[in-house]
Homo-oligomer: A and B are copies of this chain.
Amino acid sequence: MTEENYYRGKNILITGGLGFLGSTLAIKLVDLGARVTLLDGRIPELGANFFNIEPIKGRVEVVIANLSDRAAMDYYVRSQEVVFNIGMHSCHLESMTNPVFDLETNVVPQFHFLEALRYNNPQARVVYIGSRAQYGQALTIPITEDTPPNPKDIYAATKQAVEWYHLRYNKICGLGVTSIRLGNTYGPRHQMRHPKYGVQNYLIRLALDDQELKVFGDGLQKREMIYVDDVVDCLLLLGEKKACLNEVYGIGSAESITFLELVQAIVRACGSGRYVHAPWPEERKTIEVGDVVTDFTKLTRHTGWKPTILLAEGLAKTVDFYRRHREHYW
């Protein structure tokens, strides 16, 4: 648990603030009494959605600006105490079909954003959202923070590089940095228009629409599904605990399930849809990473964090949200 008063009155900046994770975090931070600024580039096809922040409308500052806009960043990073740097795309496939999109969305803006912090607010504490994908086909199971990076696609290579860039800014200007290598996260507020980011969420849409959900191959690869509220609790702890400065963490879930079991649970939670097995499409096979099993004892040791929401409960909440707010996401 985060200290009761740690975030009260603090200036907090969230990049990607209109997206899935950024907005959910913002709602919680406003609840804790923080002064929250949301930066969002509103990059087409990414997750920005004003409906996401409906519960805190008027109680947060919203700024639409690309992180590459150095003059804007110079201004907005000032006097921020904790920065949650979430604003990146997360599409493995797109990074392979269009690497320049990866460059322009995930690489270039991060350089300019870090430079803005360096010259205007090196005292800030920054939580960077890394990716489980950095491990690729994991060289050790379970995955720990010492498992060497082994990215299978451009996206994953970039996420690793930008994590390193963040950590090196500690040497450059004293910036306090923490990286969390996030895996599959699901829950309300994720974009549902296409399957490019967070396929686990899009599967919920397919089931709610009574469509067919495809399971490539036997679907027996192990997955960890983390409910977004658990991730938000984790981020809050990472932005607070001194032990987390200049550290990287993996994160996992309470249950280890197969992809097939996930699909079955989604169909069950929705009461509609059905699944079929299908052969692996070539472009997906080349970036598939096999089993994901993460040892997150370091995270628990440094922060006390543990996952609290089981898949059935998280799916029920998620399905309920989209049933009520379908018109804002479909």
A298 to chain B, nearest CB (A): 17
Q: List 30 A-B contacts (CB under 8 A).
A: A96-B168, A96-B171, A99-B111, A99-B114, A99-B115, A99-B172, A100-B111, A100-B112, A100-B115, A103-B107, A103-B108, A103-B111, A107-B107, A108-B108, A148-B148, A149-B149, A151-B164, A153-B168, A154-B164, A154-B168, A154-B172, A157-B161, A157-B164, A157-B168, A158-B161, A160-B160, A160-B161, A161-B161, A171-B286, A171-B287
A165 interface residue, CB < 8 Å from B?
A: yes
**Which of under 10, 10 to 19, 20 to 34, or 35 or more describes the interface residues of A?**
20 to 34
Which residues of A approach B to under 8 Å, CB–CB? Answer: 96, 99-100, 103, 107-108, 111-112, 114-115, 148-149, 151-154, 157-158, 160-161, 164-165, 168, 171-172, 286-287
Q: Which residue of B lies closest to A112 (CB)?
A: B100
| Number of identical protomers | 2
A164 to B107, CA, bound (A): 14
Q: Which residues of B are found within 8 Å of A154, using beta-carbon distances?
A: 164-165, 168, 172
Taken together as a complex, chains A and B put the C-alpha atoms of A100 and B148 apart, in Å, by 27
